[in-house]
Structure formats: C-alpha cells, structure tokens
C-alpha cells in the first residue's frame, strides 16, 4: 500500500495527491498533524533518508524557531523538534511500501510507482 505523508493544506501535497489520483493509484494519506507520528517512525526515516534531508529548514516553522532551538542540531534534536512541530518535516514523504522518497516531481513519482 502506498502512503503519502504530509500536511493536508500544503500545496505540494495537493499536487502529489492530484497526480496519484490522476494515475488512479490507490494510496492512503497520513496527515502528520491529525494522525500523528511516532519517534520510531521518525527515527527509521532519519536512518534511511538522513535527518538533514527530512528536516525542513526552508519553511516558516523553521524560521520561527529560536537560535537556541536551531543550534547544535543533530539527529536526536531534529527528531524531537519534528515530533513537537510536524510542519518541520519535509513533505511530501512517499512510502511505496518498499522505499521512502521526499518531495514531489511527476517524473520521479512515475519512476518510483511505475
């Protein structure tokens, strides 16, 4: 089963969902804020993808953090921040069942799900 992780009102999530639906692919949408995440999930994703890739440092949530919160970042601190503020997780995260991928590009999705 394909699972798309993200936040419902994110524009990139909307594009990814629209693409998946246009391809008539069955998928489940998991909203970080509504459905939550576990430390085990985030740890697994960080192990696979790297915490630096998973931590969204381009968004308004990151910019709203204090310098103290941003300093000395490591895997454990990043996971704790992402659990506390799920908007800090880069999105979408596509779980194909056998692999996980960050971001949305039509060509990439076609290759991963083809």
**What's the length of the chain?**
114
- 46 a catalytic residue: no
Choosing from 10, 54, 88, 93, the catalytic residue is 10
Instruction: Tell me if 13 sits within 8 A of 7, measured CB to CB.
Output: yes
How many Å apart are CA 84 and CA 19, to the nearest integer?
30
Residue 93: beta bridge partners?
5, 102
Residue 29: beta bridge partners?
4
Considering just the CA atoms, what is the radius of gyration of the chain in Å?
14
How many Å apart are CA 94 and CA 3, to the nearest integer?
6
List the structure tokens of 56.
């969204």
The residues that are catalytic are 10
């Amino acid at each position: 089963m394909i699972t798309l992780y993200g936040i419902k009102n994110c524009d990139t999530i909307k594009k990814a969902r629209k693409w998946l639906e246009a391809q008539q692919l069955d998928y489940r949408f998991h909203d970080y804020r509504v459905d939550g995440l576990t430390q085990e999930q985030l740890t697994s994703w960080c192990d696979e993808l790297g915490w630096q890739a998973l931590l969204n440092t381009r968004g308004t949530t990151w910019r709203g953090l204090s310098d103290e919160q941003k300093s000395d970042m490591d895997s454990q601190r990043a996971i704790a921040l992402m659990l506390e503020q799920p908007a800090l997780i880069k999105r979408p995260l596509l779980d194909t069942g056998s692999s996980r991928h960050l971001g949305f590009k039509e060509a990439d999705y076609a290759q991963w799900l083809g």
